[in-house]
Amino acid sequence: MKEKNFKIVSAEEAVSHIKDHDTVIFGGAGAGHAVPDKVMAALGKRFQDENAPRGLTSIHPCGIGDNDTRGLNHVALEGLIDTNIGGFWGNAPKMSELAKNHCIKGYNFPQGVLSHLMRASASGKPGIVTKVGLKTFVDPELEGGKINSITEDNLVSKIILDNEEYLFYRSFKANVAIIRGTSIDREGNLTMEEEVGFFAMLSIAQAAKTNGGIVIAQVKNINNNHVDPERVKVPGVLIDYVVQDENQEMTFISNFEPALVKRDASYVTEELNLQGLKRIVSRRAALELYKGAFVNLGYGMSDGVPIVAREEEITDQLTFMIEQGATGGIPTTGLNFGAMFNPSSIVDDGYQFDFFQGGGLDIAYLGFAQIDKKGNVNSSRFGNVLTGCGGFIDISQNAKKVVFCGSFAVKSEQEITSEGIKITNPGKFNKFIDKVEQVTFSGDYAIEKGQEVLYTTERALFRLTPKGLELIEIAPGVDLEKDILNMMDFTPIISEELKSYSKKIFLSDKLKLKDKFQ
């Protein structure tokens, strides 16, 4: 075997090999989690300097960006991008603006589906068949995952197998893979020892190579030794160009945080302190935990649940899992979401989604923006805000139990005491509406599958029934008529056994979940 099948080049030279109308797949996720940011910046600059390449199709299974200028925001340029296909759009506002203004064509597909499509593309399969996305905005009978009216090609279709409905997602022909790792050895083998997730790097690289394309890898370290084979995440034989960034950060937020990749490293973070509404919602939601459960957390309000579990000293009796591939630790919060403190393991996200889509999760805690009378949830697009679904659909449709977590209304004001909650301003906008603007979670589909579904807020707890939403608990101090029913566009079923939230939720003391787990 040759010692060097790859070339070490500048980021500028690497992106010079990208041609007009290429399909480019970007690895990484979120706010710098294994994001090849230096290469992405060079691609954007090349276009601004040379007006080339033009008309690219960009694909990213995960969202990539810092909600401002980095990640996909580097390449969100009219003329450079013709079509963007992504699992999450929310942290790349410049790309979202292009789509909303009809400057590019765009698709939003579930993150797990896109990760699996990387494998399908690598192996020459025409696509994947799955139930993920049925009766949501991805379903061709609704929106087909299309972002705007200029997006016309149908990339997903409905098929019948053994008298059951499935969705068929078409795979892609990749010309360029842009991936990232921590180091390469003398043969170009890529390792990811400082990366918070492995994502679909191997599948993305394979997808480009089997199609006769090129692979560009950004790394922090270039070593002259041979790495142990079991540590290799992407074989050097698949890599064409290597770009070194000696200042490569672990994430956009942290240069290097050992606790994000090591089981026993210590960590201290102010993010793991719950305040206000989030504390109340997280503590009520945490009452649904039980010993031995496999638990997933979504971004936003729901990521407070593992903080409660940590306070209650029960994390050793649960298994937290996140779609980016980490298992067994405490998920990070905020912009750094997608990493995990003290993970027990990290696997490629495609394998994690195998488990999720197969029904392995016992409980999923997810956020919401809107909920309607049928129990549908919108977390992907509302008003002029385009965020996308990420792994929400893969997870919510297949977990045995789903607990949605969020504030009851937009811009409400309240006083929280040890006795309960007093609403001083019920809110500016209702979140419980007659019909959601986009269906990210289908209440009808959940009923068909027999899922247990709860909707948790600081004021009230609802559950999904075949007849619609049923109000089953309210917080002490809350006025049923004024603070709940008057702030809903529909009237829920009110349980004959309507209960009050346990007052211990509002206290500073522990919930004593550890006793429950004995």
* Sequence ranges of the domains in the chain: 7-244, 272-516
pLDDT at 2 (0 to 100): 47
Domains 7-244 and 272-516 share a fold: yes
46-59: string of b/e by CB count within 10 Å (b at 16+)? bbeeeeebbebbbb
Mean pLDDT score across all residues of the chain: 95
In this prediction, residue 246 has a pLDDT band, given cuts at 50, 70 and 90, of: very high
Place of tokens 């770009």: 243
| Helix/strand/coil (H/E/C) assignment for every residue in 431-478 | CEECCCCCCCECHHHHHHHCCEEEEECCCEEEEEECCEEEEEEECCCC
Decide if 323 is catalytic.
yes
- Which range is least confidently modeled, 86-95, 240-249, 256-265, 334-343? 334-343
Place of tokens 């990484």: 28
Which CATH number, 3.40.50.300, 3.40.1080.10, 3.30.70.1060, 3.40.190.10, labels domain 272-516?
3.40.1080.10
Q: Is residue 316 within 8 Å of residue 342, measured between CB atoms?
A: no
* Percentage of the chain exceeding pLDDT 70: 98
CB atoms within 10 A of CB 514: 14
- Which range is least confidently modeled, 288-302, 341-355, 395-409, 446-460? 288-302
Q: Per-residue pLDDT averaged across 53-80, rounded? A: 97
pLDDT tens digit sequence for 437-479: 999 999 999 999 999 999 999 999 999 999 999 999 999 999 9
Q: If we measure between CA atoms, which residue out of 302, 328, 394 comes closest to residue 355?
A: 394
C-alpha dihedral over 382, 466, 399, 495, to 10 degrees? 90
* Percentage of the chain exceeding pLDDT 90: 91
CB atoms within 10 A of CB 448: 12
Choose the catalytic residue: 194, 323, 458, 470: 323
Structure tokens at 238: 């698949």
pLDDT at 269 (0 to 100): 65
C-alpha dihedral over 415, 416, 421, 422, to 10 degrees? -10
Q: Is the pLDDT of residue 1 over 50?
A: no
Cα distances from 158 to residues 117, 144, 319, in angstroms, run 16, 10, 35
Q: Is residue 241 within 8 Å of residue 9, measured between CB atoms?
A: yes
End-to-end Cα distance, the chain: 57
pLDDT at 440 (0 to 100): 98
pLDDT at 71 (0 to 100): 97
Name all contacts of 237-240 with Cβ < 8 Å and 24+ positions apart.
Answer: 237/1, 237/5, 237/187, 237/188, 238/205, 238/206, 238/209, 239/5, 239/6, 239/184, 239/188, 239/190, 239/205, 239/215, 240/5, 240/6, 240/7, 240/17, 240/214, 240/215, 240/216
Q: Is the pLDDT of residue 492 over 60?
A: yes
The Cα 197–Cα 137 span in angstroms is 28
Classify burial at 226, counting beta carbons within 10 Å of its beta carbon; exposed 0-12, middle 13-18, buried 19 or more.
exposed
pLDDT tens digit sequence for 251-288: 998 899 999 999 999 987 655 678 899 999 999 999 99
Q: Per-residue pLDDT averaged across 22-51, rounded? A: 97
Q: Is residue 110 within 8 Å of residue 391, measured between CB atoms?
A: yes
CB atoms within 10 A of CB 19: 14
Q: Per-residue pLDDT averaged across 295-302, rounded? A: 89
CATH of domain 7-244: 3.40.1080.10
Amino acid in position 80: L
pLDDT at 271 (0 to 100): 59
Q: Per-residue pLDDT averaged across 293-308, rounded? A: 91
In this prediction, residue 171 has a pLDDT band, given cuts at 50, 70 and 90, of: very high
The per-residue DSSP string of 31-50 comes to TTBT--HHHHHHHHHHHHHH
In this prediction, residue 426 has a pLDDT band, given cuts at 50, 70 and 90, of: confident
Phi, psi of 149, rounded to the nearest 5 degrees: -75, -20
- Which range is least confidently modeled, 74-78, 213-217, 379-383? 379-383
Place of tokens 């349980």: 495
pLDDT at 13 (0 to 100): 98
Q: Per-residue pLDDT averaged across 17-26, rounded? A: 98
